[in-house]
Chain A
């Protein structure tokens, strides 16, 4: 207790911060420390939970290679030519991984409540907003890690292939994933902050997440949709998130080879057919050109702006919700 008097503080001595100095630390520093320690704990928990990490890694692979390959094949039914559907789907799967990992990370709040650790946090002098932000950053970290692991798949020949341009794209995708992950984790924390029931969380999440996901264009191009659905996709913030990832990932990629049926035929046959325009017209009607799949719907700046604005609003709600819980 000797350090209590101001005269006995020896500020020059390195590494010996007295209680007095600690008390005079700015509240901003304390808030940051709070964010850091909440983040650190969540990260340790995640890192030690190997089944969870594996599960989150395998799920996108299933979607990408089983569903993606199936759809790619199905597209051939609709017309002549090829659509690189797996390539098209890759940014969507990235978005899906970010979405699900981010939002479901907030279930840790319910675990903490269930097992009592939340009380330890809530009774401590860590400012509530710091805890909320720590949870958001913690969940986003997990999501970005999962997403980064997926980036390795980009170098597969049937996605983007082993090129320098693929590496630059992968690097450019990381900050966008961070932005999307922060926004989506905020959604999770806003919901999880005050939810008491364990059973309600997955139900509520699926109720919110699945529509968000299906209306985001992650799985299929948002083209030729009926009017009502088109409006919903435009209202869905995740559409902009997926579009943002796609804008970078698919830059300079032509998804559809727009060859007509004529190019698939032997040249001798083509010459003969061209003497009879009616037959050509009939053939092209039966085997229409492959519809072009767009790589991007909105400009990139608009995507980033919408996701960032949505993220800020959700973060504010998350902090507010977290701060008013008992």
Chain B
């Protein structure tokens, strides 16, 4: 095993009867990085994570987690990892504190550390006041927060987060991300998460894009975006026709996007450097310039030819707009 890798996945396959949920994926996760699995629901994210966390056995292939084989050394793997599930896994009849105490005991957190750890995580998810109430009295969001708090309670070598912040308000989501990043810095733990939120994927050091049980791309968010293409620059001027002529004269390679709503839209590498150069000696008065960096939405769309399915309506709308913007000749 390579020293720099904490997870090494080798040709992992999982079938459920006829359905091939994970179809021979291989990848490595480096020690100390935040690694994201991005893909739509049903892409095989959770199945892969369940195999890596020893909950289900692979049909074929294997993986090393913290140097231990997920098939042959299940218990060593379990000692090395923490897991936050997508579905609820709390005991409703116990209080939040009792749920956390259970976790402390099963993960062998030293007795002297238990109180401070529990205080820390309860504080993070703002549940300190409700710590001694039974979980059955909690709202859905509170349960979710407690669940995450519990997953972070022991400082595992690898922390698996399955859709960690689904259904949480943006403020809590930010808290949790701050805490995760702090934990990563302080404890040097590796974080492996699945998400279908693009914004969340941006927090990752590296992302694997998974669809239909297969990894279709794996790189840093920036590199993935670069693969999609350059920045999209949108200019409005006093005289668009004159501006168009000037643009073509100065940059013969420039190609306007075929977007009826936007006459002066084009793609350019390193837009932030291009814009100052452009306006330095531009003959036509520019009213506004907009530089749009490609997002992972664009990446996913480009890779799979479809949008990430998302439950929230306004996000869908935002995506639709994006698709409109990108309509035009296939780039690269």
Q: Tell me if B85 and A119 are in contact (CB < 8 A).
A: yes
Does B325 belong to the interface (CB within 8 Å)? no
- Tell me if A274 counts as interface (CB < 8 A to partner B): no
Interchain CB contact under 8 A, B103 and A120: yes
Residues B88-112 near A (CB distance < 8 A):
88-94, 98, 102-103, 105-108, 110-112
Q: Which of A16, A45, A117, A127 has the most CB of B within 10 A?
A: A117
Looking at B56, B91, B98, which has the most chain A CB atoms within 10 Å of its CB?
B91
Does B57 belong to the interface (CB within 8 Å)? yes
Complex alpha-carbon distance, A21 and B110, angstroms = 9
**Shortest CB distance B138–A (Å):** 13
Q: Does A116 contact B (CB under 8 A)?
A: yes
Interface residues of A in 12-53 (CB under 8 A from B): 15-19, 21-23, 25, 30, 33-34, 36-37, 41, 44-45, 48-49
Query: Cβ of B105 and Cβ of A37 under 8 Å apart?
Result: yes
Asked if B87 and A116 make an inter-chain contact with CB atoms under 8 angstroms apart, the answer reads: yes
A125 contacts B112, C-beta separation under 8 Å: no
The answer to whether A126 and B91 touch (CB under 8 A), given A17-B112, A119-B85, A326-B55, is no
CB atoms of A125 and B107 under 8 A apart: yes
Contact at B75–A125, with CB atoms within 8 Å?
Answer: yes
A30 surroundings in chain B (CB, below 8 A): 108
Other-chain contact of A123, B53, B88, B94, B110 (Cβ < 8 Å) = B53
Cα distance A34–B105 in the bound complex, in angstroms: 8
Do B106 and A126 touch (CB < 8 A)?
Answer: yes
A19 to B108, CA, bound (A): 8
Nearest-CB residue, chain B, relative to A1: B187
B94 to A41, Cβ gap below 8 A?
yes
Consensus secondary structure, chain B interface? loop
Interchain CB contact under 8 A, A123 and B54: yes
Tell me whether A281 is interfacial, beta carbon within 8 Å: no
Contact flag A19-B106 (CB < 8 Å), given A44-B98, A119-B55, A125-B79: no
Which A residue's beta carbon lies closest to that of B77? A125
Task: Kindly identify, within residues 125 to 173 of chain A, every residue whose CB is under 8 Å from any CB belonging to chain B.
Answer: 125-127
Across the interface, which residues of B come within 8 angstroms of A17, CB to CB? 110-112
Q: Contacts A44-B94, A48-B93, A326-B56 hold; do A116 and B88 have CB atoms under 8 A apart?
A: yes
A121 and B88 alpha carbons, distance in the complex (Å):
13
Contact of B91 among A16, A36, A117, A122 (CB under 8 A): A117
Closest to B55 in A: A123
Asked whether, in the complex, the Cβ of B90 is within 8 Å of the Cβ of A124, the reply is no
Residue interface mask A74-109, B partner, CB < 8 A = 1: 000000000000000000000000000000000000
A18 and B53: CB pair below 8 A? Answer: no
- Per the bound structure, the CA–CA distance linking A41 and B188 in Å amounts to 32
Across-interface contacts of B57 in A (CB, < 8 A): 326
Cα distance A264–B57 in the bound complex, in angstroms? 76
Bound: A37/B110 CA distance, A: 15
**Contact between A123 and B93 (Cβ–Cβ < 8 Å)?**
no
Known contacts A1-B187, A115-B88, A116-B88; is-contact A124 B93 (Cβ 8 Å): no
Given contacts A15-B112, A37-B102, A125-B106, contact A117 B78 (CB under 8 A): no
Write the B100-127 contact mask toward A (1 if CB under 8 angstroms, else 0): 0011011110111000000000000000
In Å, the complex CA distance between A23 and B94 comes to 28
* In the bound complex, CA of A37 to CA of B91 (Å): 13
- In Å, the complex CA distance between A127 and B94 comes to 22
Q: Mark B139-157, 1 if CB is under 8 A from A, else 0.
A: 0000000000010000000
A156 to chain B, nearest CB (A): 35
Chain B residues near A34: list those with CB within 8 A: 106
| Residue pair A127, B75 in contact (C-beta under 8 Å) | yes
Q: B76-87 CB contact bits vs A (8 Å, 1 = yes)? A: 001101010101
List the A side residues contacting B54 at CB < 8 Å: 123
Q: Inside 8 A of B87's CB, which chain A residues have their CB?
A: 116, 119
Q: Mark B235-252, 1 if CB is under 8 A from A, else 0.
A: 000000000000000000
Which of these, B56, B90, B105, B150, contacts A33 with CB under 8 Å? B105
- Do A19 and B110 touch across chains, with their CB atoms under 8 A apart? yes
> Residues of B at under 8 Å CB distance from A?
53-57, 75, 78-79, 81, 83, 85, 87-94, 98, 102-103, 105-108, 110-112, 150, 187-188
A-B contact pairs, 13 of them (CB 8 A): A1-B188, A18-B110, A21-B110, A22-B110, A23-B108, A25-B108, A115-B89, A115-B92, A120-B85, A120-B90, A123-B54, A125-B78, A326-B57
Additional A-B contacts beyond A17-B112, A41-B98, A117-B89 (5; CB < 8 A): A18-B110, A25-B108, A45-B93, A48-B93, A123-B53
In order of increasing CB-CB distance, the 5 nearest A-B pairs are: A116-B89, A124-B106, A125-B78, A37-B105, A120-B89
